[in-house]
Amino acid sequence: MNETINNTDGGATPSVNAPRPLRLQLGYISDLASNIGSMVDVIDMAVRDIDDSRQRNAMATVCDVVMDKMDDLKRQINAVREELR
């Protein structure tokens, strides 16, 4: 009636290096993308203080491209999340 299960982990918490479920990995990646996006926003604000308009425009363009790529990454993460449901 009472089944005995052999468990060798002794109730220890999983290692940091242990594989995490895919959903948690996607959540981590999404959070990382958001953090990177926030940093790009800060860079974009700092760019406005550059006096040389060519340099300012070049940096603003780079920030825009990076943000577009981050948005694309978030869309792809959300698509994978939907497939996992």
What are the angstrom distances between the C-alpha of 74 and each of 36, 42, 46, 79? 12, 19, 25, 9
- Residue-level pLDDT at 7: 47
User: Is 58 inside a domain boundary?
Assistant: yes
pLDDT of residue 13: 55
Residues 6 or more apart whose Cβ sits within 8 Å of residue 39: none
The pLDDT value given to residue 23: 81
In a domain, 7, yes or no: no
Six token digits for residue 20: 């995490």
Q: Report yes or no on 41 lying in a domain.
A: yes
pLDDT tens across the length of the chain (85 residues): 444 444 445 555 555 565 668 888 888 988 999 999 999 999 999 998 999 999 999 999 999 999 999 999 999 998 988 888 8
pTM to 2 decimals? 0.66
Residue 66: inside a domain: yes
Q: Which domain holds residue 56?
A: 22-84
Number of continuous H segments (helices) and E segments (strands) in the chain:
2, 0
Question: Which helix (H) or strand (E) covers residue 84, if one does?
Answer: helix 53-84
Identify whether 6 is part of a domain: no
Domain count within the chain: 1
